[in-house]
Amino acid sequence: MTTAVATSTPLTAADRCDRCGAQAYLRVELLSGGELLFCAHHAREHGDALKEVAATMVDETAKLAATPAVAPDVER
């Protein structure tokens, strides 16, 4: 398995988790062909099993830490 750093098309807000429909932050290209998309929660939950069947994985979960949790109190 190879863990890739967003070398294919980056994930967008339109990409949705195959388990729950939340925004996807992990793309798994399978050894058998095809791909799966997961939100950060389901990527963590199924991570070990995914590593066993993945040809490549594009993990963009670091984007979650880069976004502020709340807007500033003062607008300019």
Closest residue by Cα to residue 38 from 54, 14, 62, 22: 22
| Confidence (pTM) | 0.74
Tokens 């979650």 sit at which residue?
64
The mean per-residue pLDDT over the stretch 52-71 comes to 84
- The pLDDT value given to residue 75: 65
Considering only CA atoms, give the Rg of the chain: 14
- The pLDDT value given to residue 57: 94
The mean per-residue pLDDT over the stretch 29-55 comes to 95
Task: Please report, for residues 24, 30, 31, 39, the alpha-carbon distance to residue 20 in angstroms, rounded to integers and kept in the order given.
Answer: 10, 19, 23, 8
